[in-house]
Amino acid sequence: MIFLYLLLGIYTLGMLFVFAYSLAQGHLLLNFLKSRKIKVPVPKDPANWPKVTIQLPVFNERYVVERLIDATAKINYPRELLQIQILDDSTDETAQLILEKIKSFPDVDFQYLHRVDRKGFKAGALKEGLEKATGEFIAIFDADFVPDPDFLKKTIPYFTSEKIGMVQTRWTHLNENYSLLTKLQAFALDAHFLIEQIGRNTQHAFINFNGTGGVWRKSCILDAGNWDDDTLTEDLDLSYRAQRKGWEFVYRREIESPAELPPIMSAVKSQQFRWTKGGAECAAKHAGGVLKQDLPLSTKIHAMAHLFNSTIFIAVITVSLSSIGVWWAGQQGLIPTQLFRLAGIFMIGFVIIAAVYLVAFFYEKKGFWKSLIQGLYILPLFLSVSMGLALHNSQAVWEGLTGKKSPFIRTPKFNLEGGKTGLKSNLYITGKIPVTTWFEGLFALIFGAMVFLSIRVGAFEMLPFHLMLTIGYSLVFITSFKAYALGK
């Protein structure tokens, strides 16, 4: 019986964490809905446009770097006030492609900075570039972005006060309709860039620079301690250091920054690992300081939810595995049926989470019925795949919280829309299959067996949950295996 109580305790704690997470998301949703009634006036253009430096951190980007340079060279801003730094850490032919490409724009102030040691990875490149940056403001774009020509004309006016240190824009997606995988990623990112960013910014809680598609005041970066490479999410780390020092951030949903979504699961996993581990590293670095600091209670609560949001994957995998024992105990009559019914309260949390993603999905969608049909099949698939990534992401979170260091692994880019490369010919795909991928396949079999047993004995309390886990782990395993096979 002691083991049973322990099992129930683990299961309940996991469900409580998911429920608490959903309440925080629900509050962000409410603030997002309130924000739609708030009309923010578009600021006037400055009397004198300031000097701006655009930084383009690059590492082995042969498929997208020319597109990036083309787009950046078309930025509509006074030439004498614009400096464009290409911060290149490449070890392949990307360097030659860059040098040839910038010759096409003799009237643009391109500053090419090449490093051979890659010290500090992206954070190190940005920091070294900042030493030679002549701009009062620093705009940053990753290699897979295609900046809007009027990006600076739209963002710079929002620096209406000396207290504003950063303006972040909303990512949009160049290849959203390429595959089901890209549609699911867009579904997830839209919720972050609409509900979460707006929900936090509206109530003056801490938000984060998303690493690209934003503009910093140079003095803010320096005052906050400059870029640091002690976490894998240097953007989140600097964001918290700056806001904890009193700098204000602005998020503008209407200013779009188009970018490419990873089209294969191995690339998605690489990106997810960096984001979730880096988020956990920032939680370990900043949580204590935020709690001790003299800040409004709501700011502290949302900061904790923000910093520890990646730990939701540990909660999901804990609930998933312990649910097998709970299901068995229920079939043996060791758990009263009333407890199963009481657990239905936790389903409210999943409803709230679903609402967050659906509201983001329907934002500015045209054709209600078509969008409704799409949403009804994308939502359960998204939740299933998110559960299927729980093992992979839990490893990342655990490493981040416990201080295990790992290098900054870039997400391979493809430029499939531009026809630069096919999936099979991309030289950046690795063929090594991680051990976790095989466990994902094993979990798909285990939860598939649970679905079979539930149907056979007529116990349907956990059938939807186990069915989603089966689908999620199966899809993640199959798409991962196919993706890694491309690299062989």
By C-alpha distance, which of 301, 339, 351 is closest to 11? 339
Q: What is the rounded distance in angstroms from the CA atom of residue 188 to the CA atom of residue 282? A: 21
**Host H or E run for residue 56:** strand 52-58
Q: What is the rounded distance in angstroms from the CA atom of residue 88 to the CA atom of residue 246? A: 32
How is residue 145 annotated by DSSP?
A: B
Q: What is the rounded distance in angstroms from the CA atom of residue 448 to the CA atom of residue 11? A: 20
Cβ partners under 8 Å of residue 471, min gap 6 = 381, 384, 388
Residue 144 among the catalytic residues: no
Q: What is the rounded distance in angstroms from the CA atom of residue 230 to the CA atom of residue 181? A: 31
Q: What is the rounded distance in angstroms from the CA atom of residue 122 to the CA atom of residue 66? A: 19
Catalytic residue among 88, 148, 190, 235: 235
Q: What is the rounded distance in angstroms from the CA atom of residue 223 to the CA atom of residue 236? A: 16
Between vectors from CA 269 to CA 234 and to CA 277, what angle results, nearest 5°? 35
Residue 89 among the catalytic residues: yes
Cβ partners under 8 Å of residue 215, min gap 6 = 52, 137, 138, 139, 140, 152, 155, 156, 159, 166, 167
Catalytic residue among 88, 89, 144, 148: 89
* Maximum pairwise Cα distance, the chain: 79
Contacts 24+ apart (CB under 8 A), 458-465: 459/327, 459/330, 459/331, 461/327, 461/330, 461/340, 461/343, 462/323, 462/326, 462/327, 465/320, 465/323
Question: Residue for token digits 């997606």?
Answer: 173
Coil, helix or strand at residue 210: coil
**Residue pair 320/464 in contact by the 8 Å Cβ criterion:** no
**Residue pair 86/115 in contact by the 8 Å Cβ criterion:** no
Q: Record the tokens describing residue 475, joined without a space.
A: 């899809």
Q: What is the rounded distance in angstroms from the CA atom of residue 150 to the CA atom of residue 50? A: 15
Which neighbouring-strand residues pair with 432? none
| CB atoms closer than 10 angstroms to residue 34 | 13
Q: Record the tokens describing residue 485, joined without a space.
A: 């096979």
Q: Which residues are catalytic?
A: 89, 235
